[in-house]
């Protein structure tokens, strides 16, 4: 019998997202996924901390989504993953993938290099920061790719695809781009490029102009831009 190393229970899925995804995410499948996630936290050291697993959904309710940034899986080192893709808490060393995002951020927006890797300000403006896998075992990248997280991602993308609002999707890396077939609504903009990790960023990420292309999309539709600036 594996030793139970955590006693915390998975927090409730945010109610607004629960209601939004009901038509696209069967109750039985949802409960099965939650049970598998709970089992992983009970048996292993898993990131992010269990109370943060739905953080992206909590900070960005469905009606507020303007941009979806989809990555691969959470950071697998201690004190890194905080429930928002690519983000780390204030005071945590900026990981290599986020450093590459910040290089693009500086070159494409003209803003200075942020001192903190906390992307919560983006989330609060409608940037949904998700990964293809929402959890990972300590020091084992990709270790939760076998969990059926595609169920929740497909439900989210199906819901957002039906939106009449113009949404910009950033699909970063091959795992994220698998989901591009769901995005069929021409009201939206789907931007696909390589993952910003040092192993793949050279394959087009640095030249992707994600920030300016997103701004141009909103400007053409006379919508407010995201305030990307992370410095107060």
Q: How many CA atoms lie within 13 A of 25 on its CB side?
A: 24
- CA distances for 101 relative to 68, 117, 138, angstroms: 15, 10, 23
| Contact between residue 91 and residue 152 where contact means Cβ atoms under 8 Å apart | no
Give catalytic residue positions: 73
Long-range contacts of 42-46 (CB under 8 A, 24+ apart): 42/2, 42/4, 42/5, 42/6, 43/2, 43/3, 43/4, 43/5, 44/5, 44/137, 44/138, 45/5, 45/137, 45/138, 46/135, 46/136, 46/137, 46/138, 46/144
Alpha-carbon distance 92 to 75, whole Å?
A: 12
């Amino acid at each position: 019998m594996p030793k139970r190393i955590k006693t915390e229970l998975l927090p409730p899925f945010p109610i607004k997202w629960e209601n939004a995804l009901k038509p696209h995410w069967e109750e039985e499948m949802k409960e099965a996924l939650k049970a598998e996630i709970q089992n992983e936290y009970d048996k292993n050291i898993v990131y992010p901390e269990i109370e943060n697993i739905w953080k992206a959904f909590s900070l960005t309710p469905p009606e507020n989504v303007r941009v979806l940034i989809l990555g691969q899986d959470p950071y697998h080192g201690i004190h890194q993953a905080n429930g928002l893709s690519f983000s780390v808490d204030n005071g945590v060393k900026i990981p290599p993938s986020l450093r590459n995002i910040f290089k693009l951020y500086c070159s494409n927006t003209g803003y200075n290099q942020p001192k903190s890797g906390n992307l919560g300000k983006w989330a609060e403006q409608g940037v949904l920061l998700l990964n293809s896998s929402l959890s990972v075992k300590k020091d084992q990248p990709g270790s939760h790719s076998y969990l059926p997280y595609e169920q929740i991602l497909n439900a989210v993308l199906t819901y957002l695809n039906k939106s009449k609002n113009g949404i910009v999707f950033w699909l970063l890396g091959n795992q994220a781009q698998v989901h591009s077939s769901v995005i069929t609504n021409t009201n939206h903009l789907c931007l696909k490029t390589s993952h910003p990790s040092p192993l793949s960023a050279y394959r087009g990420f640095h030249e992707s102009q994600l920030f300016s292309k997103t701004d141009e999309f909103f400007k053409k539709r006379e919508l407010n831009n995201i305030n990307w600036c992370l410095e107060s």
